[in-house]
Amino acid sequence: MTVERTFALHGPTFDHGEWRLEPDTLELVLKRKHWIRIDLERCGSCGEVLDWVFHYRAKGMTDKEIADMLGALERILAPRANLCSMGATKMCDSSALAKDYVAKVRDPSLLTRSDYLP
């Protein structure tokens, strides 16, 4: 599911369960421990994304926090389309993807008809 298509299910938002997207710094921030952050500008490869996931998993996060982190990363970066489709590693401009997501949250008129397809 692309990030655009997730808008139809979740609506564009800065809140992602236990995490919040900080639009000015392009960081995902864990709500209960605000110093735990994921720099979305450093998520341009599947290895970089996995490094964040396993780094924080080892820090004793709850299953809900991990699930919400994965959901946020999926909505913002669309990793299957941009980082690892069909098992092939790709590089992406994660900063541009995060900025595009922020723009759509701030101005839903930027969403296109295809953004609402199931």
Q: In 10 A of CB 4, how many CB atoms?
A: 20
What is the C-alpha separation between 117 and 38, in angstroms, rounded?
29
Per residue in 9-66, pLDDT (tens digit) is 455 578 899 999 999 999 999 998 888 999 999 999 999 999 999 999 898 899 999 9
| pTM of this structure | 0.82
pLDDT for the residue numbered 116:
53
The one-letter code for the residue type at 76 is I
**What is the arithmetic mean of pLDDT over 104-118?**
69
CA atoms within a 13 Å half-sphere pointing along the CA-CB vector of 23: 13
Residue 114 clears pLDDT 60, i.e. is over it:
no
